[in-house]
Amino acid sequence: MSAVITQRLVDLTRALDCAGKGQRTALCREAAQDLGLSLATVYRKLEEVTVVTTTRKRRADAGQSGLTRQEALTISATLIESARRNEKRLYSLGDAVDALRISGMIRAEAVDKASGEIRPMSLSAIGRALHSYKLHPDQLLAPAPVTELASLHPNHVWQIDASICVLYYLKPGPDPKANGLRVMDAAEFYKNKPKNIARIAADRVWSYEITDHASGWIYVEYVMGAESGENLCSVLINAMQDRGGADILHGRPEILMMDPGSANTSAMAKNLCRSLGIQMIVHAPGAARVTGQVENARNIIERKFEAGLRFQPVADLAELNALAARWRGYFNASAVHSRHRKNRSAIWMTIREHQLIKVPGVEECRRLAVAEPVSRKVTTKLRVPFNGLEYDVSVVPHVMVGDRLMITRNPWRDDAAQVVTSDADGHEVFYVVPAIVTNELGFDVAAATIGEAFKRHAETPAQAARKDAAKLAMGADTQDEVDAARKAKTIPFGGQLQPYKQMTEADLPTFMPRRGTQHDLVLPTVETPPLSVFAIAKRLQAEIAGWTPEHYAWLSQHYPAGAKEDDIPAVAEHLRGAFSKRPTLSVVGGA
């Protein structure tokens, strides 16, 4: 480029900087004509000679938004209040905005300059407004990539996993007003304070998630205590039952995938799956991607269901599970899956008759979920030691001192175990043996936790904004009022936010019942031991007025071999009838 062209372009650059609106193109065309170049060439060469680029003129409405700061503060408060204590948000921005709009708490509208109409703001515009007001929460962590696995049809593969509820525990007590679902306060239950966690460990709420791999159908049920074989089998049995309505997932899966946790690989789960013909696949440790679908279901449950529990508490576990059942029926019938572009219930309803294997009832399935039996030696008192207790095995036929019996725990009864034997046909027979009750002195171990004092840093703008959001959510003017409201378990926004209003007003389709194939299962026989005459007399002595030795003689005569537990009411009626028919003597004439 010659010096003449360069000088002309430098002069053009200065003229463009001072040009008004609509004059820049004309100046460039004039320079192109003087230099004998095309307009495009002039534009390209301007970039070569420009040394200092002036900043773009700021828009007149820059920094302004149709979203007011009060509305932005309301949205931010909702996202913060639904977050875990580790700052992971449970409510997405879209869900929070939808819930606030339908509750009448925000408008989030802007005027269309072209048409003059008032329209709802887009989520991107709301996000930019939150950034401009310094009220936007931290971004969610990106999910880890997973390997895609294929299944053939609904009920071909189920995935199951247990998770501790991120926010809540159920607090028992004599005062009904003090009970119900509680938030795990970070200061009160700090993870480095073992005694605080141990104090409420039995009251923590756990959830079991089950997903049907083909349709993506999500089943969730909540339990108390911890992850255990009993809870796993109970939830799996409930999920396989035909519950009716929109809660359509049921039947026996061909394959059950789970993680290698001790509860999931317990003898109870193995026995249940073996009895029902379910193939159990446990992925290798550290390979959680294999069951990535159920892991993602936990995230969906946290953000779509559990986030609303902060604003609509429940009283007990039964109410929580009832609400969860309504939610899963609504969600699976309405939410569109990203893979097959349909709702989960519609895909599950494509299951065919030979693919839907009906399972027995709850009680029959529970009988199958027994722990692996172990061999124990019968003592001279006709007892066997098991799991730190002794059990009376005198009810087992032909039992002898020194024999070895196969005994297993009964997960559905705390006061009994089960002895496993075989009958003449080779079928398993279970005898319920009661535990020997003894008086034991136990000590509660409480370790004092030494706290560490620390100096607070100066308050940041983000902390000040968070306090404003907390005041708005709690309806308070001062921080002391916020603390008092949180201590009193006040519902944010005074209960005005209705996160489940859409679910309540939704019109779900009516699902036709699906035909299935009955499971060809041979159930074991469970027998209860008979009570002796002395035990029956001791039981009825408190119920029958005027007990005499004749009553005992009548029992010995009519029930010499004793009677079973279920027959005790009938025995009592026979005994009363026998003695009520006897004639009575009366004194005549006072002699």
Higher-confidence residue of 539 and 372: namely 539
The answer to whether residue 43 scores a pLDDT higher than 70 is yes
Task: Please give the share of the chain, as a percent, with pLDDT higher than 90.
Answer: 14
Q: Return the higher-pLDDT residue of 264 and 205.
A: 205
Question: Cβ(334)–Cβ(233) under 8 Å?
Answer: no
- Closest by CA position to 497, among listed 101, 87, 168: 101
Q: Which of 335, 307, 312, 331 is nearest to 89 (CA)?
A: 307
What are the distances in angstroms from CA 534 to CA 394, 539, 551, 561? 15, 9, 11, 11
Q: Distance of CA 445 to CAs 173, 195, 199, 282, 304, Å?
A: 21, 9, 11, 37, 40
Amino acid symbol at 490 = T
pLDDT of residue 442: 33
Q: By the 8 A CB rule, do 61 and 54 touch?
A: no
Q: For the residues 279-285, what does the mean pLDDT come to?
A: 77
What tens digit of pLDDT does each residue of 470-509 get? 898 888 899 899 889 888 888 888 888 888 888 888 888 8
Distance, in Å, from the CA atom of 142 to the CA atom of 240, rounded to the nearest integer, reads 33
CA 525 to chain centroid:
35
- Flag whether pLDDT at 142 surpasses 50: no
What is the SS3 assignment for 71?
Answer: helix
Q: Quote the CA–CA distance of 157 and 212 in Å, as a whole number.
A: 6
pLDDT of 209? 93
| Gap between the Cα atoms of 107 and 101, Å rounded | 6
Is the full-model pTM beyond 0.85?
no
Closest CA to 72 of 118, 138, 137, 133: 133
Burial class of residue 161 (count of CB atoms within 10 Å of its CB; 0-12, 13-18, 19+): buried
Compute the half-sphere exposure of residue 553: CA atoms within 13 Å on the CB side of its CA: 4
Angle between helix 568-580 and helix 549-558 axes, rounded to 10 deg = 120
Q: Would you say the C-alpha torsion 70, 74, 75, 79 has a positive or negative sign?
A: positive
Which tokens in the block code for residue 91?
């409510």
pLDDT band at 251 (very low <50, low <70, confident <90, very high): very high
**DSSP codes of every residue in 186-241:** TTTT-TT-HHHHHHTGGGEEEEEEEEETTT--EEEEEEES---HHHHHHHHHHHHS
Summarised one tens digit per residue, pLDDT across range 314-352 is: 888 888 899 999 999 999 999 999 889 999 999 999 999
